[in-house]
Each structure stands twice: as structure tokens, then as C-alpha cells.
Structure 1
Amino acid sequence: MIEDPQGTILALFAAFCRVGGCFLVLPGFSSARIAMQVRLFLAVAISMAVLPIMWDTIYPKVSGPTSTYIGIIAIETVIGGVIGLITRYYVLGLQFAGTVLTMMIGFTGPPSQDILEDAAENQLTNLISLTGLTVLFMMDFHHVVMRALVDSYTAMPMGGTFSPQGALISLTDALSQTFTIMLSLASPFILYGLLFNVAVGLVNKLAPQLPIYFISLPFLITGGMFLLYFGISSLLEIFANGFVPVFEGR
């Protein structure tokens, strides 16, 4: 029997604020393709799983005045959002690399509906983004995030003060490392596109009467697709292996 039902509900909601703030922006779980009720119930279920583990940490903090509890709600939501944003930045980095990749190989067809979000995106970028996120799920990246949520109660205790500077430093460091990794993933295609366009430019100077764009574009796309075919496994492997160092380094 629950001795303090009101305190238990307040503690559960406090845990839900941090978990829900994370799941609000967590890639995959925050997708527009997942029903809102499913996302809500999933966040509640994770909160109910976290509460018994962190009961001694959460429950004493929610027994104070109402103004203090409102401040806890705001701070907990922001902390969860920061944890989720680190992961989201990493997945958005793959989408950025996919966009660069498609531009450099000339695969710039009309955009189609994004599989993950309510936005228009190139078909090849959609494929790379969805595949990368699927690989992260196969490697249980959500378990890493949930473990980080539990560990965050030690690093950022409930009821303490929130440090905007520390949060911004964590986000900028995550963006910096993500950009470096994604640039290394797209670098073969960037070099391929630059070399191909330089060669085509030289040919155009030698024979300016040729419609060089219409002649060269099929070769550019074909070579880029072959390069993607032989390099996609390494691309996804580097992407998957880089997640844990970027996330846990924060």
C-alpha cells in the first residue's frame, strides 16, 4: 500500500518531466510517424521504471513548497531536453551528410516526403537517414540514453540549479564532434564531386560547343552510386561506432 499517494504522484511527474523532455526530441521516438499517445505512454512507462530506482533521490525533493516544485518541473524538463538534443544532433548530422552526399554526386531530384519527419527531403538522404537510425536502434542506442537519464540524477541532482553555460558547452561540443564525424563520412563523395567537376570543366574548355552538363550528369550519378554502393557499409559502421563516444563524452 502506498503511504503517501500525493507524494508518489508528484515524484512520478517529476521523473516524467526529465524523461518526457528527453523523449520529446529523441530521434525515432519523437518522429511524427509515431502516434502521440504511443509516445506519451512510452515516456510514462519509462518514468515509472526510473522512479523506484531513484526514489531516494526524487521523493525528498518534491515535498517542498509549490513554488519550489514548479521550478523543479521547469529545470527537469530542460535537462531532459538537453540530453535528447545531443542524440538528435548526431542523427541530424547524418541527414546533413546525406544532403551533402546527394549534392556532390548530382542526385538532386525533386524532394519527397520525409520518412521520419513532416518535411520534404531527397530520396537518397531519406534512405541514409532511416538506415542510420535503424542501425542505432539495432545497437540499442536507446538503452544508452535511458542509462544516461538515470546517471544524470547524479551529475545533475534534482532540486539543484541549472547551468545554461554547461548545457551550451555540452551541445556545442556534441555539434563539433558530430560535424567532424559527418565530414569524414561525406569526404569521399566531396572529393569525387570536386574532381569530377574539375575534369568536366576542363573538357568543356576544350570543346565548348558540347552540352557538357547533359552529357556528364549521368556519368556523375552513376559513379557516385557505385561509390555509395561500395562505401555504405563503412559509412554506417563509422556512424554507429561514433555515437557512444559523442553521447557519453558529454
Structure 2
Amino acid sequence: MLAEMLLARFGSEVVLAVFLLFCRIGACLMIIPGFGSDRIPVRIRLMVAVAVTLALAPLLLPSVQAAMPDQSLATLVRMILAELFVGGLLGLLGRAFIAALETIGNLAAMSIGLTAMPGMAVEGNEVLPPMASLMTLTATALVFITNQHWELIRALADSYSAIPPGAGLDVQSGLIRLTDQLANTFLLALRIGSPFLIYAVVVNFALGLANKLTPQIPVYFIAMPFVIAGGLYFLFIVMDEAMLLFLDGYVTWLKFS
């Protein structure tokens, strides 16, 4: 009934163009950090994607309609697949930042002896150490606190100029962009986690030296509470700078993607 009303009021070409917009925008928002979190109900994520699509429709409809040569089934299927691929690729490029942060959070928790403590999932279903959960939750909150979700919507609108609708499935180019993004986020994660890596090397070297000097004393067992305390204090010192580095990398990607 709703589809018939929309077709009668706006025409099939407009409805199909809006649906193609929804394919790219919805696929991106289902994966991108923050909007694509498993903790957000699917119905709310769907309504957000529909609202963003309708908000951008007056601006983007002319370009989508101009890219539709006809309304045949083969053309529609090809364009739907292409839009889903582009939207999913954009979402994966953003998801790479959170994946890198989760990885370095696990490594940082391991370096200060907190991996055995059970944590909770924030962005996905995988259980993370509390330290990694804290880092991902803080980063996701900062994205919304600094209004970068509006920058994401602007980037989605600009993507129709960079990758016009109906351009086809360029899988090779998409994989190259994804590989480059993974490399960049890996370097960003190393910059964030490098203090913890240095801390782990120095502490373990000192404990190993002490254990060699006094083999009759269980040095590692005795020193573990002090290692954890020092790591938490170290986290307190570097957390602000680490989150600023993450936010700077994420904002740079949004502005130049």
C-alpha cells in the first residue's frame, strides 16, 4: 500500500532513485563506527539510514536520475549491487579505525597484564579486555561529541561526486583503497600504542634482570600488581593524547575521502 502511494505521488523514477540512494547510505551506516554498533537496535539504525537518505535526496536525486539509463530489471540490479558495494566499502574504511584501535587496545592490555580480566563488547560481539573497551568506547563517543557524524554525512554526499552512481563495480580499486586504509590505520594504531610497547619492553627487561639476580624470589609474581598499577597510571597520562591522535586520523580521512 505504501509503495503504491509513493509511486502514484512521485512516480517510479523518483522512488527508484531514492532507493538507490538508500542502498549506498544504508550500507555505509550499517558498518561505520558509531552508527553500525551492535548495541544499537537494528530498527533504530534502519530509521536513521532512512532519515539521512530522505534528507540528502533533494540534493542528490538529479545526479542519480541522470545516471539511470532505463528502468529495466538488469539495469536496476547492476546499479543496486554497485551502490551496495560502494556504501559497504565506505563503511569498511571507517570500521578499519575501530578495528585498529581494538587491536592496539588488546596489545596495550597485554603489556600491562590486564588481558586476563574479562571485559565487554562495545562495537561488536567480541569480548575485549576492559582497557580495549575503554579506548573504543571513548573514541566512539568523541566522534559524536565533536560532531564528526555530520562530517560523515557530508562525506556521503560528496561520495556521489567522487564515485558517481552507475559507475560500475570497480572491485580492484576498492580493494586497493581498503588495503591502503588498513596500512594507514595500522600505523595510526602503532603511534597510539607505542608508549605501552616501550613500557612493556622496559618493565619486562627490568623484571628479567631482577629475576636473574635473585632466582630464589618469584619476581614476576610479586611485581605483577606494581606492573598493573604502573600501566594504569601510564594510561592515565597518555589517554588524552592517544584519543586526539585517533580523532585526528579519523577526521582527516573524512575530509579527504
Deviation at 1:3, TM superposition (A): 6.3
Structure-2 residue corresponding to 1:236: 243
Structure-1 residue corresponding to 2:16: 10
Structure-1 residue corresponding to 2:58: 52
Structure 2 letter corresponding to 1:7: E
Structure-2 residue corresponding to 1:34: 40
Structure-1 residue corresponding to 2:207: 200
RMSD of equivalent CA atoms: 1.6
Q: Are residue 148 (structure 1) and residue 155 (structure 2) matched?
A: yes
Deviation at 1:162, TM superposition (A): 2.3
The 10-residue stretch of structure 1 (178-187 or 117-126) with the greater mean CA deviation from structure 2: 117-126
Structure 1 letter corresponding to 2:106: T
SS at match of 1:54: helix
Structure-2 residue corresponding to 1:22: 28
Q: Which runs of 5+ in 1 are unaligned?
A: none
Structure-2 residue corresponding to 1:177: 184
State the distance in 2 between where 1:247 and 1:201 align: 45
State the distance in 1 between where 2:84 and 2:153 align: 15
Say if 2:78 and 2:168, in contact at 8 Å, map to a contact too.
no
Q: Which deviations, in whole Å up to 9, do the C-alpha atoms of 1:171-216 show, x marking residues without a partner?
A: 1111111111110111111001111101111111111111122111
SS at match of 1:112: coil
State the distance in 2 between where 1:213 and 1:90 align: 34
Q: Are residue 227 (structure 1) and residue 234 (structure 2) matched?
A: yes
State the distance in 1 between where 2:151 and 2:178 align: 17
State the distance in 2 between where 1:40 and 1:87 align: 19
SS at match of 2:92: helix
Structure 1 letter corresponding to 2:253: V
Deviation at 1:5, TM superposition (A): 2.2
Deviation at 1:235, TM superposition (A): 1.1
State the distance in 2 between where 1:116 and 1:84 align: 13
SS at match of 1:107: coil
Structure-1 residue corresponding to 2:77: 70
Say if 1:177 and 1:246, in contact at 8 Å, map to a contact too.
no
Structure-1 residue corresponding to 2:193: 186
SS at match of 1:46: helix
Q: TM-score, normalised by structure 2?
A: 0.92
State the distance in 2 between where 1:227 and 1:3 align: 62
Quick one: percent identity of the two aligned structures? Answer: 34
Say if 1:174 and 1:246, in contact at 8 Å, map to a contact too.
no
Q: Which runs of 5+ in 2 are unaligned?
A: 1-5
Say if 1:178 and 1:246, in contact at 8 Å, map to a contact too.
no
Q: Which residue of 86, 101, 108 maps to 1:79? A: 86
Structure-1 residue corresponding to 2:3: none
SS at match of 1:121: coil
Structure 1 letter corresponding to 2:133: N
State the distance in 1 between where 2:10 and 2:253 align: 41
The 10-residue stretch of structure 1 (71-80 or 147-156) with the greater mean CA deviation from structure 2: 147-156
State the distance in 2 between where 1:197 and 1:159 align: 56
Structure-1 residue corresponding to 2:173: 166
Q: What is the count of residue pairs matched by the alignment?
A: 250
Deviation at 1:141, TM superposition (A): 2.0
Say if 2:106 and 2:115, in contact at 8 Å, map to a contact too.
no
